[in-house]
Structure 1
Amino acid sequence: MTRPARIALAVTLAFAAPNAFAQSKAAPAKTPVANYWMDVATVNVSIPGVEEATEMPLIGGMIGNFFGGSKLGMVPGKWLDLALYTRQKPAGTSGNHAIPPGQNMGASLPLEPVPKPQPGGTAPDTKPEDVERQKPKGRLLLYWGCGEAVRPGQPKILDMATAGPMDFAKFFVGRYAPERGATSEPGRAIWPNERDRQRVPKDASLRGDHAISGEGVPPSLKFAIGEPQDFMERMNLAAPGDPKGPLLASWNAVPTARAYFLSAVGGNGEDMLLWSSSELPEAGLGLMDYLSNSQIDQWVKEKVLLPASTQKCAIPTGIYGQAGGAMLRGIAYGNELNLLHPPRPADPKLLAAWNPEWSLRVRVKSTTMSMLGQEAAPARQEKKTEPVNPLDILKKGLFGR
């Protein structure tokens, strides 16, 4: 080895050695012993007959309560999903969630482990001609933005009869939040479950002290819920008038809302018509869900979400004039709460002795659904009406039935 080469090697090793030493001394990432998730949702469905039907003993009993109801957003009421994981019992542990009196659901809610999935059977054979017969026809037309007129360059069109996977991917590219909340998966204990499926009462409040217990759960897993993470008020959204437009969508100010987002879907023959309140091309399929505080703030700046001060948005003329009905949806994003106990020290020198016992994430939202052109409906309908099934709109628009 030449002398210059030896010098270069020595210099390289001199700089590399301290870095390697520093990496070896760096404190490893520390995981809390237990993690707890609470997904909190308020759902309002302003479609004649829907709320009354769900409150009938027979239908309400058939629907009952089920895990994942906070994400579905199709059944009116208050919804709550809870999930617990502890590294001390990775296969799952039975637990208990002590709740405040104002929740009106007893002293506590039982948390039951999610069973491991059973091996599935063999999927049925699918013939190429069956795939071709099931392939959707028609087009997807995407409009966006609040205003009385459709803007230049719209709509964005996808012909489903000729589109390939990449075409679909490009058409639906948009913002979304990876799942970070209460999920039903092996190793977690959840509520609601087979043991307890009671519905959340209309007057339930989460405000107050909460405590989680169970084998492998740190005794310190206790926290308080305040107004920002309580069930949000109902979002009452309506866009009355002639669907030919323009229609003015308006809603009440939800006190704890951080931002809003609207979307509409309707069918015209075999075509599906999509619209969203975003100022950018955005179908919003991934936005009708819980979002983190940082995502909400960022997407408000990008004008994808509407600021919390907004209560009106015009839907442009001509989008749904020929549609056989259209469904309007809205979401009010709440404030996400993230706690770590004990809190992470600000002083790096104290990190080595820091051992987090538990983490908590509480996500909150309020969603609403109504028919485009429908007047704002009161909480109760005096006149008996037939419930409208919003899925019929999707079927007519997507499959031309």
Structure 2
Amino acid sequence: MSSLKPLAVAVSGLFALTPALAADLVQKVKPPVSQAYVDLATFSGGMPAMPGGGAAGMLGSLFNKGNGGGNTFGQTQGQSQGRWMDVVLLTRNNTNLKTATQSVPAGSRLAPTLNLLAPEPQPHQAPERNIPDDEPAKFEMPKGKMYLYWGCGTEVRKGQPLVIDFARMDVTQYNKFFQNRGATARVPTPVPGRPAWPNKTDARLLPEGASMAGEHAFAGDGIVDGFKFNIDAAHDLMPAVEATRSDDGKGVLFKWKAMPQATAWFVQAMGMRDTGHGGDNDMELVYWTSSELPDMGMGLVNYQPDSAIEKWRKEKVLLPASATECAAPKEAVGATAMSRVIAYGDELNMAWPPRPKDPKITWEPQWDVKVRRKSVASLMPGMDSMATSAAMSGHGDDVSSGPPAQPAPAQARTPTATDVITQGAVGLLRGVFKK
């Protein structure tokens, strides 16, 4: 019998651990039946909404974001002046959903509903045959250099700038230079079965003074009943960033008005230097960001999840919500540099029914919705401030349900400093990324 005692002790100890193991039980979570994604964006300064042309159109074509004109889906990822909203809806109950409606509050000035529409399926195209050329393709590395400065202050810090010479670039140099933080989640895009707004049947612009605060509801074939939620005033469209830049002999000072809705700030500048050697690719591209750690900022001037914002605030990659200014060395931000100031807004995530507190109960949400917000100001060369009220009033009070009128043909114009900078930057970057 004595030989059984150790076994009995071991078994009793196992049962004694059971409550602790239960505490670590992972709750089973099923995907929501219906989901909606709402992106809200405010852009001030920069390029007005126009058909495809100019610097905004070139950058949009490079990064496949927006189309530079009209209210089409994707303008929240562009840089055209104004206030924009993108909505995508999907449901597991109907993967072929074509249309749906979104009830919106009266303050949106688009009430009572938005008409969501899924794109039509595209005809299948056979892949192109890869016919080899007689001679292998030749790649000519673009001429030029890139410089990266970072941190607030008028003095160039020790170890700066990082320099990359495209003619002599190696992998180690490339990885050291191209540091771009970013945790922007990709939301589902409009495809057959996922209706979205705006679209070809409902391309209304957000009227001046529109507010999304209030009750919203989605309805459609396969959308769960009771898909209703409220956007509170704290998670409404963000106001325009009111920013200025001033240059003196020591450096460049960026200042902006405090914004209660902002959770953090970030400033980025990009400019071109002409080496004087001639040639389209013989240029120098100069970056500066407000981060205390090296970062080009290409991934940061966009929506970021709350967890990433909190992390990067602690690391001083992002400026705190209370910040209202940041200076840069004169070597880092030239007179023709384009600059952007972004105010991040926190996300609004809601689901029904709420998640059970008991981990042993499976969570089966019927619907969930994610609302993301940001406000970005662009300071173009030659502009020491932005007339934000004028930028925001460009939409007028057009609340017609049909698509916008076709724009008039663009007038010929003399290229601006912005065009020259952007064309040089785009050409240089395209050469690099085609490698």
Does TM, scored on the shorter chain, surpass 0.5?
A: yes
> Could you tell me which residue of structure 1 aligns to residue 226 of structure 2?
220
Aligned pair in 2 of structure 1 residues 123, 109: CA closer, same or farther (>3 Å)?
farther
Aligned pair in 2 of structure 1 residues 164, 105: CA closer, same or farther (>3 Å)?
farther
Matched residue count: 367
Q: Distance between the aligned counterparts of 1:262 and 1:64, measured in 2?
A: 27
> Could you tell me which residue of structure 2 aligns to residue 251 of structure 1?
256
> Could you tell me which residue of structure 2 aligns to residue 84 of structure 1?
89
Matched residue SS, 2:422:
helix
Please state how far the C-alpha of 1:166 moved relative to its aligned partner: 6.2
The answer to whether the Cα contact below 8 Å between 2:146 and 2:286 also exists between their aligned partners in 1 is yes
Please state how far the C-alpha of 1:310 moved relative to its aligned partner: 0.5
> Could you tell me which residue of structure 2 aligns to residue 369 of structure 1?
378
> Could you tell me which residue of structure 1 aligns to residue 345 of structure 2?
334
- Structure-to-structure mapping, 1:117-136, within 5 angstroms: 117-120=122-125, 122=128, 131-133=138-140, 135-136=141-142
**Residue of structure 2 aligned with 1:199, choices 196, 200, 205:** 205
Q: Distance between the aligned counterparts of 1:154 and 1:36, measured in 2?
A: 44
Matched residue SS, 2:168:
coil
Q: Deviation digits for residues 359-399 of structure 1, max 9, x if unmatched?
A: 11000000110125632143459xxx988474531323464
1:315 matched to 2:321? The reply is no
Q: Distance between the aligned counterparts of 1:304 and 1:348, measured in 2?
A: 36
Deviates more, 1:119-128 or 1:326-335: 119-128
TM-score, length of structure 2 as denominator length: 0.76
> Could you tell me which residue of structure 1 aligns to residue 238 of structure 2?
232
Please state how far the C-alpha of 1:198 moved relative to its aligned partner: 1.2
Q: Distance between the aligned counterparts of 1:273 and 1:41, measured in 2?
A: 27
> Could you tell me which residue of structure 2 aligns to residue 209 of structure 1?
215
Q: Distance between the aligned counterparts of 1:144 and 1:380, measured in 2?
A: 32
Structure 2: stretches of 5+ with no match in the other structure = 1-6, 52-67, 275-282, 392-412, 429-435
Structure 1: stretches of 5+ with no match in the other structure = 1-6, 55-61
Please state how far the C-alpha of 1:124 moved relative to its aligned partner: 8.3
Aligned pair in 2 of structure 1 residues 131, 238: CA closer, same or farther (>3 Å)?
farther
**Residue of structure 2 aligned with 1:94, choices 91, 95, 99:** 99
**Residue of structure 2 aligned with 1:114, choices 115, 119, 134:** 119
The answer to whether the Cα contact below 8 Å between 2:183 and 2:304 also exists between their aligned partners in 1 is yes
Please state how far the C-alpha of 1:279 moved relative to its aligned partner: 0.4
- Structure-to-structure mapping, 1:1-400, within 5 angstroms: 28-46=28-46, 50-51=47-48, 63-72=69-78, 74-120=79-125, 122=128, 131-133=138-140, 135-164=141-170, 167-181=173-187, 183-242=189-248, 245-269=250-274, 270-321=283-334, 325-349=336-360, 351-352=361-362, 354-372=363-381, 374-378=383-387, 379-380=389-390, 388=416, 390-397=418-425, 399=427
Q: Distance between the aligned counterparts of 1:186 and 1:156, measured in 2?
A: 45
Matched residue SS, 2:247:
coil
Which amino acid counterpart does residue 209 of structure 1 have in structure 2? E
Aligned pair in 2 of structure 1 residues 373, 279: CA closer, same or farther (>3 Å)?
farther
Which amino acid counterpart does residue 328 of structure 1 have in structure 2? S
Aligned alpha-carbon RMSD (Å): 3.3
Matched residue SS, 1:168:
helix
Which amino acid counterpart does residue 319 of structure 2 have in structure 1? L
Aligned pair in 2 of structure 1 residues 368, 130: CA closer, same or farther (>3 Å)?
farther
Aligned pair in 2 of structure 1 residues 26, 313: CA closer, same or farther (>3 Å)?
closer
